[in-house]
Structure 1
Amino acid sequence: MASELARIIRSVVDGTTVDPEEIRVVLAGDGEAAIALTDLALRVDALRQRSAELRGVMSSTRDLLAIPDADLMLQRIVDRAHELMKVDVTYLSVYEPVRDELYVRAATGTISPRFFGMVVPAGVGVASLAVRTQHPQWVEDYSTHTAVPHDPTIDEVVGEEQLRGLLGAPLVVKGKVLGVLFAATRSPHAFRLDEIALLSAFAAHAALVLHLAQLLRQATDATAEAASRQREAEWAASLHGELTQLVVDGHDSEAVVGALTEALGRDVTLVSDGGVLRSVENDPFADPILRAAAAEAAVSGRSVVIPTGGIELVVSIIAATSRSESMLIARGEHPLTPVERRTVERSALTAALVMLRRNALADAEEWVRGEVATEVLEGSANRVTGLRRAAARGYPVDRSWVMVALPCDPDERPRLLARLRIRTDWLVATAPLGVTVLAPRLTVREAEGTEALATAREVGDFAGPGSGLVVASGRASLEEAAVAAPAVWQTVQLARGLGLNSGVIDAATLAPYSLLFEGDGGRIAAFVDSMLAPVIAWDSTHGSALLDTLAVLFDERWSLASAARTLHVHLNTVKQRMQRLRALLDEDPDRPEARFRLELAVRIERARQVARQASES
């Protein structure tokens, strides 16, 4: 018995596990001694377990200083907790406060492939309860526990792992929960206080790891941001120097836009008066959102961000000029940074300086061209000087030109002048009734007929909407076109009197009648109405061709038979029409004097119809 007792005592001292039943058998005769020795053995086992736990905690503490990788460190903590807690599964979930969710970041002992991707939503299970209370939470059997809300998906994953007992210790730093460390068993288990304390100790280490990782990430981000700001500052300074050099070297705004396009790595478009100066498919200001943003930028002097669409930023180019210009910055892979936005605004100031110089030169050029146009149109006293100055400036004075008259209201004249003077190959001057344009034709063909009308349409289209009536006359040289100006403007008055207020008209169509009535359109219209109003009204009401019959009769020298052949009708039809005409007309067409006045009215009316058809085509 003594030897058996000595062996048991040596086992207790050496830390070998001793079966309490064996102690009771050896000390069967001394119950108190057996109880004392058994208690001693249990205390030694507890101290040994506590020593192992302390070594595990100390080892984890050393890892905090030796392992820089946060994920590896968290996995080490989970592994040690799993080893010392002697549970089936140990895992750590990181808390995301923005979404109020926990997701598994490290685990040991799991078998389900879905476990590592498990995300616990807000308010579900033991994890959410630990986050909300910031204290350890545990359940002996999660499958039957109803005190906390369950989630079907989470219950499926937990069921795949066959987890029953759950203990969760929150990771708390300065009142903020960073996650929850879990110990779980696959059978119901009542967790002891020492187990809760041990898991809480490892949770504190895990909290420190996450907190340090966050601080390191913040420091890294701050360093990266500072470096990024330094790079942006250097980039902005370099671009500013390049733009300044462009201004010094005398480049135009296109060069500024090109430099900004290259620096930003995205398309930059320069627009003026709603018209695109650089190449884009459509007018961007057709978009009301973009138009409103451009107006806001022009008022504030700052850039305006467009939330959607192909354009991200609009900045107005503000200069002492009536022209409204803007830069449109296309949307890129990433939004513009504040530094890039400020750089775009400074680039707009540089472009404004360039445009000030350009506009000053353009204004001087416009003034000279306007002075030359005025001299050419004023009369023989100044025309020779004007023609000489035009030739010196490169205008083809001896080639074909077209004189174009654009009547307009006085309030509209400044806009029309500014618009037309953009074309440097034209000579533009004011006139009492509107604006006169002398436009060269670069073809050798005679600038009559279709050539004159084509040039007139080009001028009218360039003048823009609302240009109204356009009257043109083609001539063989600049001098002849200038000499024709009074007659063309007289034709304008005549056309207006005849009710022609829009379209493009060749002055030759109405020129013969302009001289007879001194360009008084009202008088000529009244004359035609007094002679032909009943005939025109009859044709309109009955769908007849009395006016056409009159015109053919005059062309055929009042021969009824010839008129019938030309009209492709029977002679009796022409005679019947003549009877109707004699009934409608106030004067007898057989009298020479009356026939002359009637023929004049018919030919004026036919000219008016031709001019109206030309204006509508």
Structure 2
Amino acid sequence: MAHTDGDWIRRRLRSATQLTELRDTETTLQAVARHTRGLMGSDMAYVSFTDFDRNETVIRKTDGVRTQAYATIRQPLGTGVLGRVAIGHSSYWTPDYQVDEKLHHLGDIDDIVAGEGVRALLGAPLTVAGRVIGALLIAHRIPREFSPVEVERLESVADQAAVAIDNAQRHEQLMELVEQTSGERERTGSDVAALSRGLDLDRRLMETVTSELPASSLLSIGAQVLDCDIWFTDLPGRRPIAASTDAPVPDRAANAGGTFLTVTAAGRQFGELVTDRALGEAEQTLLERVSLHTALWVMLARAREAVELRDGTEAVAALAGGDLDAPAVRSVLAEWWLHQADRWCVLVLDSPDPVRDRVMRALSASSPSPVIIAPHDGHICVVTGDARWVAAVPDLFAARGWTLRGGMTWVAAGSADAADATGTAGPAGRDFAAAHRQAELAASAQRTLGRTGLSDGAGLGILAAVLHLADQGELPTPLVADLSPLTGYDASHHSGLTRTAQVYFDTDGSVARTATVLGVHRNTVRQRLDRIGGLLGEDWNTMPRKLDLQLALRVQALADRR
């Protein structure tokens, strides 16, 4: 069953939250298999644990599997899809296992797979802090291809599942140690107290993660238990993300006695925990629990942000589509708490794919007022009513070393002759669609002209509009003057009349400056201008023909650059 991006991410968030709350391994494994099958719409799903000492991976829990033989497969590492993925290097899929010659097949396991009727398989490794613990697979009983989106989705489920499984295992181990220690007479009361303290820390951290409290709450709990200040920073260790104190992050060189622990989960590094003093071995174990729950907090927070961004996608698409009347526009704005603004700014921002989500998260986190931020038609679209925040966007990009290139246009509350049910005038969808188009045009002009920064669409000139159309391949041929007499002459005589005309216009008709730019004698420029007049007509340098030729020459220059 197919799901839209927004629907899938919401389901994914609910699943991640439920998995995070589980505390025993067997229940967690069963939930992972069940949730994965439902999220991926597969015939079956299953989880395996990898045993490198035995060089095999063993299926532990399944959902949708019919035969006992399949549910208890012990797959040698490196064989089949399961054994290949369980090594931990990368995801792998096959459209039809039974005929895939790239796989290392084993006869007895192939018979089990055939008996289950499995054909297509997709698997992702389960890793925590660089440690492989197993694999997560889905299967179909018909041959089929898997899209890059499906691979990415299973990998995201596997990331969260790995952390949830590892967390459940650690919690169980801690509980077993407490019970074991409590029953041994030779153990001191301090040993039991230390283990109980760890179990209590685990419980409090988990409650904080699932309660959606800020990351500083996690660090404050850890700071109380460890009796030290804790900071959560980016990996260079310079920018604090959260802290248990208002004090600044200690300088690494000056804090040589502190403890530094990388926050890692599911093969990804989220930042670093820093303490203001050195921790002992037992204390470092407690800090590791804080680190794991901090990673859980980050993963859930990002999943929630993804839901918000996808919801924003729907809102942006509705506003930019132009089909909404004034009451419908007000309803969309009210859903985002933007309906009380006097005017709204529509921003269109360039951002390459590798950092697009980071840019959107930074924009969202920096806005003190309601804002809609979403990917749209290859760019980032923003709708806000906060003029001061818009003015601060360049500083936001500069502080992170990102190049800002985009356009913006304001929409006034009374821009349309439309009224809502209360009789209050407000913008209709066509107003937002026009503003979005104008902002998009301004951003395109910035790209075409090689400029950076935010360009106000309200001040967009005819040249920028023509260049935008040319860049998009949408410029009607009759819209600009015919330059073929110049370009044809240049091609047959190896001359530079087209370039001469462009420089002549760019220097406001100065023969001397044109000669300097081209590096030729002034008489050469005059001779070329006479030749241009002979080819194009004597009115080539007078209005309105002059404007047509200037635009055509700019378009030609753009085509040459491309």
TM-score of the two chains, using structure 2 as the length reference? 0.45
Compare relative contact order (CA 8 Å, sep 6+) and give the higher one, 1 or 2: 2
Compare the two structures and name the one with the higher helix fraction: 1
TM-score of the two chains, using structure 1 as the length reference? 0.41
